[in-house]
C-alpha cells in the first residue's frame, strides 16, 4: 500500500526524540495547495432513520449475489478431464490427472460446504438485515474467499502446467517424459529383486531460467501452498529444449528422483565418509566435504551410465565459466567445486572402459583451467583429491547396495564401449533423419551430441529430427 499523502510524519531530532517545532511546521496548511481546505469526514457510527424501499431492494440484491458468486467460484475449480489437454501422446497421463484431481477434490468439497455456510448467513441477513447479521455474513465471506484463493493457486499451477501440452512445447515435453521413463525402466528392470516402478513417473514442463531443476515426489511446494508434490517434476528452461544435445542435465535431474525413490540418499553419505577415512586415510574434515557432495555426485554418476558421455560434455558446457567461478571452493556447498566435479566424472568414464576419451577430455578441461592456486582450492584437499575421488566413485558406482537389490549401479545400468558405438551409429542416422533402430531413448541425447560434434547436420536439423524420431517411436 502506498503511504498516505494527506499528512507528513513529524521529523525526528538527532537525539531520537520528536521535534515539536518541526511538527508544528509540518502541519501548517499550504495556502496555494488545492487540498489546503480539505477536512476529512468521519464515517457515521449509526445510520439514522429507516431504510427506503430502494435501499432495501439494492441491499437484498447485493446479499443474494454474494453467495451466488462464491459458490460459483468454488465450483469453477473443477476436476480436470482426461481429454481436455489433448488425446495424443503428449497429453498428461490419466494417472497424473487423477492424482491432481484427488488433491483438488479434497479442498473443493470442503469449499462447497463452506460456501453454503456463507449462503445461509446471506439468507438470514436478507430476512433481517441487522448490523450483527450483516457483519456475520462479511466475516464468513472473507474466510471462505481466502480459502477459495488458496485452492485457486493450486488449480492454476496444474492447469498452466498441463495446458503446455497443447502448445508447441507438447511434443518436446513428451520427449523429455519418455527419456525419464526410459531411465526409470532401465533401473527398476535391472534391480536384483522385483520392485514395481512407481506409478507416477516424472512429468516435465517448460519454464524460464538458466538450467533445469527437479522437485521430488512428496516435497512441499510453495506453488502448491506447501502441500506435498504429487509426482516428480522436471523443469526445463525453454531454451534448453532448442538444444537437444544439452539435455543431459535432464538425466541428472531424473537421477535425483531415482536416488530418492530407491532410498539411496539415506545410506550414501555415511558410506563415502567411512571408506575415505578408513580405507583411504583421508582427513575427516576433507572426507566430510566429500560426503556432503553425495547427492550431486551420484546424480552425475547415474546420468553418465544412463545417458553416455554427453552427460560430461554438457556438464562442461554448464560449469565451464570464468576461472573465478569454476575453481572457487566452498566447503559448505552441496555441489562439488565445478572444476573438480568434471574431473570426478572423468574418473568414472575411465572406469567404464573409455580411457582414451577420458584422457582427452581431461586434458581439454585442464587446458581451460591450467593454474589452480592454494587460494582457489585448499592444498590439503588438492593433495588428496585423486585418491579420494577414486574411492568416492567406486563407492557410488561399483559397490552393491540393498536398495539396488544387492547390485551395484554399474551392474544395474551397463555402459561401456558397446553402448558408445551404438550412440555413434544412432548419431549418424539421426543426422540423416533415419530411425536410429533399437537404441534406448535415454541414449539419444548423446547421439545428438555426437551428430553436432562431428557436424553431421546443422543444429536445427538435428533438433527437428530428434523430436520427430522420439515422437513417433
- 80-106 per-position pLDDT tens digit: 998 999 999 999 999 999 999 999 999
- Out of 220, 239, 258, a domain closes at 239
Same domain flag for 63 and 135: yes
Same domain flag for 68 and 144: yes
pLDDT of 301 strictly over 60: yes
CB atoms within 10 A of CB 322: 8
- The pLDDT assigned to 138 comes to 95
What is the longest distance spanned by two Cα atoms in the chain?
96
Residue 197 falls within a domain, yes or no?
yes
Same domain flag for 76 and 160: yes
Residue 78 falls within a domain, yes or no?
yes
Radius of gyration of the chain (CA): 31
- The pLDDT assigned to 2 comes to 42
Residue 331 falls within a domain, yes or no?
no
Same domain flag for 176 and 91: no
Same domain flag for 143 and 62: yes
Residue 199 binned pLDDT confidence (cut-offs 50, 70, 90): confident
Domain span including residue 426: 418-472
Same domain flag for 80 and 178: no
CA distances from 75 to 96, 104, 195, 222, 285 (A): 21, 11, 40, 24, 58
- Out of 113, 136, 166, a domain closes at 166
- Out of 223, 239, 255, a domain closes at 239
Residue 207 falls within a domain, yes or no?
yes
Same domain flag for 63 and 161: yes
Same domain flag for 58 and 162: yes
Total tally of structural domains belonging to the chain: 3
Residue 141 falls within a domain, yes or no?
yes
Residue 193 falls within a domain, yes or no?
yes
CA distances from 125 to 53, 56, 74, 289, 312 (A): 16, 11, 22, 66, 69
- 356-371 per-position pLDDT tens digit: 999 999 999 999 999 9
Residue 253 falls within a domain, yes or no?
no
- The pLDDT assigned to 9 comes to 36
- The pLDDT assigned to 473 comes to 58
- The pLDDT assigned to 193 comes to 85
Residue 452 falls within a domain, yes or no?
yes
Amino acid at each position: 500500500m502506498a503511504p498516505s499523502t494527506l499528512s507528513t510524519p513529524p521529523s525526528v531530532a538527532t537525539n531520537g526524540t520528536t521535534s515539536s517545532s518541526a511538527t508544528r511546521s509540518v502541519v501548517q496548511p499550504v495556502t496555494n495547495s488545492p487540498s489546503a481546505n480539505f477536512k476529512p469526514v468521519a464515517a457515521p457510527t449509526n445510520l439514522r432513520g429507516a431504510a427506503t424501499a430502494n435501499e432495501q431492494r439494492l441491499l437484498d440484491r447485493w446479499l443474494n449475489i454474494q453467495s451466488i458468486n462464491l459458490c460459483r467460484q468454488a465450483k469453477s475449480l473443477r476436476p480436470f478431464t482426461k481429454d481436455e489437454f489433448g488425446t495424443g501422446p503428449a497429453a498428461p497421463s490419466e494417472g497424473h490427472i487423477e492424482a491432481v484431481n484427488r488433491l483438488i477434490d479434497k479442498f473443493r468439497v470442503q469449499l462447497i460446504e463452506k460456501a453454503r455456510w456463507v449462503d445461509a448467513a446471506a439468507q438470514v441477513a436478507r430476512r433481517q438485515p441487522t448490523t450483527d447479521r450483516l457483519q456475520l455474513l462479511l466475516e464468513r465471506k472473507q474466510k471462505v474467499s481466502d480459502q477459495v484463493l488458496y485452492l485457486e493457486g493450486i488449480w492454476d499451477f496444474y492447469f498452466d502446467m498441463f495446458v503446455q501440452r497443447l502448445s508447441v512445447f507438447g511434443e518436446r515435453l513428451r520427449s523429455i517424459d519418455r527419456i525419464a521413463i526410459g531411465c526409470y525402466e532401465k533401473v527398476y528392470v535391472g534391480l536384483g529383486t522385483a520392485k514395481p516402478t512407481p506409478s507416477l513417473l516424472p512429468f516435465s514442463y517448460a519454464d524460464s531460467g538458466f538450467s533445469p531443476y527437479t522437485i521430488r515426489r512428496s516435497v512441499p511446494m510453495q506453488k502448491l501452498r506447501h502441500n506435498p508434490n504429487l509426482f516428480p517434476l522436471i523443469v526445463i528452461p525453454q531454451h534448453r529444449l532448442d538444444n537437444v544435445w544439452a539435455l543431459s542435465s535432464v538425466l541428472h535431474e531424473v537421477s535425483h528422483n531415482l536416488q530418492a525413490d530407491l532410498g539411496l540418499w539415506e545410506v550414501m553419505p555415511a558410506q563415502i565418509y567411512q571408506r575415505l577415512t578408513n580405507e583411504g586415510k583421508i582427513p575427516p574434515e576433507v572426507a566430510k566435504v566429500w560426503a556432503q557432495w553425495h547427492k550431486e555426485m551420484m546424480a552425475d554418476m547415474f546420468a553418465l551410465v544412463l545417458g553416455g558421455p554427453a552427460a560430461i560434455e554438457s556438464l562442461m558446457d554448464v560449469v565451464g565459466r570464468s576461472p573465478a567461478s569454476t575453481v572457487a571452493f566452498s566447503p559448505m556447498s552441496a555441489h562439488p567445486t565445478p572444476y573438480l566435479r568434471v574431473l570426478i566424472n572423468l574418473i568414472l568414464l575411465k572406469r567404464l572402459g573409455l580411457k582414451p576419451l577420458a584422457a582427452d577430455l581431461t586434458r581439454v578441461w585442464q587446458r581451460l583451467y591450467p593454474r589452480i592456486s592454494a587460494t582457489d582450492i585448499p592444498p590439503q584437499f588438492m593433495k588428496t583429491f585423486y585418491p579420494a575421488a577414486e574411492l568416492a566413485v567406486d563407492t557410488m558406482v561399483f559397490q552393491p547396495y540393498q536398495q539396488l537389490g544387492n547390485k551395484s549401479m554399474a551392474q544395474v545400468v551397463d555402459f561401456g564401449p558397446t553402448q558408445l558405438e551404438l550412440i555413434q551409429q544412432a548419431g549418424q542416422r539421426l543426422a540423416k533423419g533415419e530411425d536410429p533402430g533399437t537404441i534406448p531413448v535415454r541414449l539419444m541425447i548423446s547421439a545428438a551430441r555426437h551428430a553436432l560434434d562431428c557436424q553431421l547436420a546443422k543444429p536445427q536439423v538435428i533438433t527437428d529430427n530428434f523430436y520427430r524420431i522420439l515422437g513417433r517411436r
